[in-house]
């Protein structure tokens, strides 16, 4: 074996060995943590190794003879494939999806196009009608110029990326391009090469080895950073768990002290336990409202003032209201009768909580069959709440709220009328009021949803400032329901029924 072949043969063995080692290591790491980064790097090493084995020319190459005789495009197909996996590896190595998602998608599509072209060329390689020079010309005059320009374009953009891995990617890529292109040029132009110890292809092997070592170091740094980030997250998690444990112990200690104080009076203990149970039910059912917790605080106040009878009555009304809300939550729509019962319970609780500061009445026209009309659950509650908080609470005496259900021929009208400060005045005052009722936006969305879902019903409402219309003081809300056939309560429930049924079972248990 000539001296030139000895150097080339040694370099070929070293290159193939390096690729095998890195392929096995990357594959083992991938099967350990399932990181796609190592999957693509192992595939890159594997197909590069296939190409290196294909280029063995230091003796009989059975692999070369079999493949070359069967498929004319194999040599170029393998190069397209390992370049594609090189790009996919680079995307994850640079974490480009985090820094430049659009560029990441662009490069990813380009890599998949390379794989698709490689697949097409592989199948056409079995066709003897296509000359062998076609694939070499395609590689030299189509793929190389496009891919080389694309590579420099990517490198130029990657320089601006904030990834810590970009320097390893850029250095490894430039080394591969410089040595690889030199090997390609002098292999087709031997007169340009004056070397005595190495063949032109050996510079390609040098490019692979240098690139592998640069990337192996970069991968080691990458893995170390991942490990450090994981350790940091675990440390923060442990610290957070410790803080939660401390707070939990403090809360348990506080609850224990409260329990010892409440044991002195068994009767009070029973009531407060029931209040806490109701509060837990409210939290579990995700009913978050100032009204709920204000009521619970009022009950506690009655208990602390030893007004047990009033506390029992208040607690009973409140529990009934909560049960109604939960029962009605099983259906997206309820009957108008149930809706008005909810409002009656709500108003009776508020009336008692504010020591009869206002009076209310609910009047229903005898011709209106409330059970025949379906209605979004608790749709009236925001109107009633606004009438109380932003209308009647500023009235010093004789505050009155009326709910009238009237039959107007084609429509059934629900009229919520108060003698408060009026709608326009309440709007001006609301901006400085810390208490915020449910907004009209949510009401409009619920009504719009109801009207779109229901083919037999239509709901509309109007808010009237009575003073502006010169019909007295206060605000009047008119909710109109069209009377159409087939609008009775159906047995069809909403898609939330399953969630609410689980919630109710959890509360009752």
Highest mean pLDDT among 209-213, 447-451, 461-465: 461-465
Query: CA-to-CA distance for 398 and 393, rounded, in angstroms?
Result: 11
Confidence band for 289, pLDDT divided at 50, 70 and 90: low
DSSP code for 54: H
pLDDT reported for residue 226: 72
Confidence band for 425, pLDDT divided at 50, 70 and 90: confident
Query: CA-to-CA distance for 499 and 501, rounded, in angstroms?
Result: 6
What are the tens digits of pLDDT across the range 233-275? 888 888 888 888 888 888 888 888 777 776 766 666 565 555 5
Question: For 220, how many CA atoms within 13 A lie in the half-sphere containing its CB?
Answer: 6
CB contact at 8 A, 419 and 399: yes
Residue 14 has pLDDT above 70, yes or no: yes
End-to-end alpha carbon distance in the chain: 87
What are the tens digits of pLDDT across the range 339-372? 999 899 989 988 888 888 889 999 999 988 888 8
Any idea how long the chain is?
A: 509
pLDDT reported for residue 508: 46
Q: Where are the domains of the chain?
A: 3-235, 331-492
Give the CATH architecture of domain 3-235: Up-down Bundle (1.20)
What are the tens digits of pLDDT across the range 296-332? 888 877 788 877 788 888 888 888 888 887 776 666 6
**Rounded mean pLDDT, 164-175:** 83
pLDDT reported for residue 265: 62
pLDDT reported for residue 11: 86
Q: Which residues contact 168 (CB under 8 A, 6 or more apart)?
A: 93, 214, 215, 217, 218, 221
Residue 285's SS3 state is coil
pTM for the full predicted model: 0.45
Highest mean pLDDT among 111-125, 180-194, 420-434, 493-507: 111-125
Query: CA-to-CA distance for 237 and 243, rounded, in angstroms?
Result: 10
pLDDT reported for residue 412: 93
pLDDT reported for residue 485: 53
What are the tens digits of pLDDT across the range 109-154? 999 999 999 999 999 988 878 888 888 888 888 888 898 888 888 8
**Cα-atom radius of gyration of the chain, to the nearest Å?**
39
Task: Enter the tokens of residue 221.
Answer: 């740094």
CB contact at 8 A, 78 and 86: no
CB contact at 8 A, 23 and 46: yes
Residue 378 backbone zone (phi > 0: left; psi -120 to 50: alpha; other: beta): left
Residue 284 has pLDDT above 50, yes or no: no
Task: Name the residue among 100, 40, 41, 50 with its Cα closest to residue 75.
Answer: 50
pLDDT reported for residue 167: 82
Query: CA-to-CA distance for 284 and 293, rounded, in angstroms?
Result: 14
Concatenated DSSP letters for 159-221? TT---TTHHHHHHHHHHHHHHHHHHHHHHH-GGG---SS--HHHHHHHHHHHHHHHHHHHHHH
Q: What's the CATH number for 331-492? A: 3.30.565.10
What are the tens digits of pLDDT across the range 196-231? 566 778 888 888 888 888 888 888 887 787 778 778
Query: CA-to-CA distance for 383 and 402, rounded, in angstroms?
Result: 12
- Alpha-carbon 401 to chain mean position: 44
Neighbours of 329 (CB within 10 A): 22
Task: Enter the tokens of residue 264.
Answer: 């002195």
pLDDT reported for residue 509: 44
Specify the higher pLDDT residue, 59 or 419: 419
pLDDT reported for residue 282: 42
Mean pLDDT of the chain: 80
């Amino acid at each position: 074996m000539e001296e030139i072949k000895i150097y080339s043969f040694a370099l070929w063995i070293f290159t193939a060995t390096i690729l095998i080692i890195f392929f096995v290591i990357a594959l083992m790491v991938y099967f350990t943590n399932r990181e796609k980064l190592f999957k693509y790097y192992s595939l890159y090493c594997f197909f590069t190794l296939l190409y290196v084995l294909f280029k063995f020319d230091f003796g009989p190459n059975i692999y070369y003879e079999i493949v070359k005789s069967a498929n004319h495009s194999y040599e170029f197909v393998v190069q397209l494939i390992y370049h594609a996996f090189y790009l996919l590896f680079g995307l994850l190595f640079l974490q480009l999806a985090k820094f430049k998602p659009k560029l990441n998608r662009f490069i990813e599509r380009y890599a998949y196009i390379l794989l698709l072209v490689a697949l097409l060329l592989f199948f056409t390689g079995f066709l003897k009608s296509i000359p062998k020079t076609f694939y070499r010309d395609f590689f030299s005059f189509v793929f190389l110029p496009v891919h080389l320009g694309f590579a420099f374009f990517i490198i130029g953009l990657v320089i601006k990326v904030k990834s810590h891995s970009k320097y390893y990617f850029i250095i490894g890529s430039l080394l591969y391009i410089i040595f690889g292109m030199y090997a390609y040029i002098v292999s087709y132009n031997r007169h340009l090469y004056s070397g005595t110890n190495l063949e032109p292809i050996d510079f390609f092997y040098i490019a692979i080895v240098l690139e592998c070592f640069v990337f192996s170091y970069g991968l080691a740094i990458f893995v170390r950073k991942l490990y450090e980030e994981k350790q940091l997250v675990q440390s923060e998690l442990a610290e957070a768990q410790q803080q939660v444990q401390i707070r939990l112990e403090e809360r348990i200690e506080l609850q224990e002290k409260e329990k010892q104080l409440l044991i002195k009076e068994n009767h009070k203990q029973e009531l407060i336990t029931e209040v806490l149970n109701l509060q837990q039910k409210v939290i579990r059912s995700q009913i978050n409202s100032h009204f709920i917790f204000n009521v619970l605080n009022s009950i506690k106040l009655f208990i602390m003032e030893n007004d047990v009878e009033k506390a029992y009555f208040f607690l009973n009304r409140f529990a009934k209201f909560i049960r109604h809300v939960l029962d009605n939550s099983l259906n997206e729509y309820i009957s108008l009768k149930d809706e008005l019962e909810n409002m009656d319970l709500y108003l009776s609780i508020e009336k008692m909580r504010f020591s009869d500061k206002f009076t209310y009445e609910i009047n229903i026209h005898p011709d209106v069959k409330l059970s025949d009309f379906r209605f979004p659950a608790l749709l009236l509650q925001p109107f009633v709440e606004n009438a109380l908080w932003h209308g009647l609470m500023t009235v010093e005496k004789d505050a009155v709220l009326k709910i009238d259900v009237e039959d107007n021929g084609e429509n059934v009208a629900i009229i919520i009328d108060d003698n408060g400060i009026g709608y326009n005045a309440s709007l001006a005052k609301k901006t400085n009021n810390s208490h915020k009722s449910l907004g009209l936006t949510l009401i409009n969305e619920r009504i719009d949803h109801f009207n779109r879902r229901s083919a037999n019903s239509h709901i509309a409402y109007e808010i009237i400032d009575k003073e502006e219309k010169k019909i007295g003081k206060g605000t009047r809300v008119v909710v109109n329901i069209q009377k159409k056939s087939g609008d009775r309560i159906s047995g069809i429930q909403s898609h939330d029924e399953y969630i609410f049924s689980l919630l109710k079972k959890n509360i009752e248990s």
